[in-house]
Homo-oligomer: A and B are copies of this chain.
Amino acid sequence: LHAPLNELPRLSADLLERLRTKAPRVHCITNGAAQAFTANMLLAAGAVPSLTIAPDEIAAFTASADALLVNLGTFDAERREAAEMAVKVATEAGRPWVLDPVFIDRSASRAEFAKMLAVCKPAAMRLNCAEFTALADAAPEEDAVKRYARDNLTVIGLTGVADLITDGARSTRIDNGHELMGRVTAMGCAASALAAAFLAVEGDALIATAAALLCFGVAGEMAAHQAAGPGSFAVAILDAIHTLDRRALVERARVS
Contact = CB atoms under 8 A, between A and B. Distances in A.
Interface string A27-52: 00001111111011001100001111
A34 B36 contact: yes
Interface stretch (A120-128, A160-168, A169-177, A179-187): A179-187
A81 to B, nearest CB: 11
A57 B109 contact: yes
- Per CB-CB distance, the 5 closest pairs between chain A and chain B, nearest first, are A231-B238, A229-B239, A39-B185, A229-B242, A33-B35
B36 A57 contact: no
Contacts of A36: 32-34, 36-37, 185-186
Contact of A239 (B109, B182, B228): B228
B185 A52 contact: no
| Number of chain copies forming the complex | 3
Main secondary structure of the interface of A (DSSP, over half): helix
Contacts of A75: 52, 54, 57
Given A43-B184, A60-B108, A109-B56, A76 B74 contact: no
Contact of A243 (B39, B185, B229, B237): B229
A51 B186 CA distance: 12
B50 A106 contact: yes
